[in-house]
Amino acid sequence: ETGVTQSPTHLIKTRGQQVTLRCSSQSGHNTVSWYQQALGQGPQFIFQYYREEENGRGNFPPRFSGLQFPNYSSELNVNALELDDSALYLCASSWYDSNYGYTFGSGTRLTVV
């Protein structure tokens, strides 16, 4: 059984650029969620995907978008990067029934300069 893999681990981008972060879900999980964690804070929910459709969204602007692929891997895209987008981005996979918990990846540390 594989865990959740995220790539890249670190990334530095310039304000205004676009970035794509990738996540491979744990084998068998059909739901993927993305979270943003600013330094010293708890993670904040960005959105969730189930069956390749967005299945709920947190308080994030439309320039945050995502994709889920048939193999349940996922991408998080952020356009027009702002300095405040600097954070740790975490991907979590789960069964649709969330009573079985979530498996998180190690995250991608994004720095916007």
Nearer Cβ to another protein, position 2 or 18? Answer: 2
Q: 9 φ, ψ to 5°?
A: -85, -35
- Kindly state whether residue 104 participates in binding another protein, applying the rule CB under 8 A: yes
Query: Residue 57 CB, nearest distance to another protein (Å)?
Result: 8
Q: Could you give the 3-state DSSP secondary structure of residue 91?
A: strand
Nearer Cβ to another protein, position 17 or 98? Answer: 98
Q: Using alpha carbons, list the distances in angstroms from residue 33 to 17, 77, 83, 105.
A: 23, 13, 23, 11
Nearest of 59, 63, 36, 34 to residue 47 by alpha carbon: 34
Binding string, residues 50-79; x marks residues near another protein by CB under 8 A: x----xx-xx--------------------
Query: Residue 78 CB, nearest distance to another protein (Å)?
Result: 19
- Kindly state whether residue 28 participates in binding another protein, applying the rule CB under 8 A: no
Tokens of 59: 């308080």
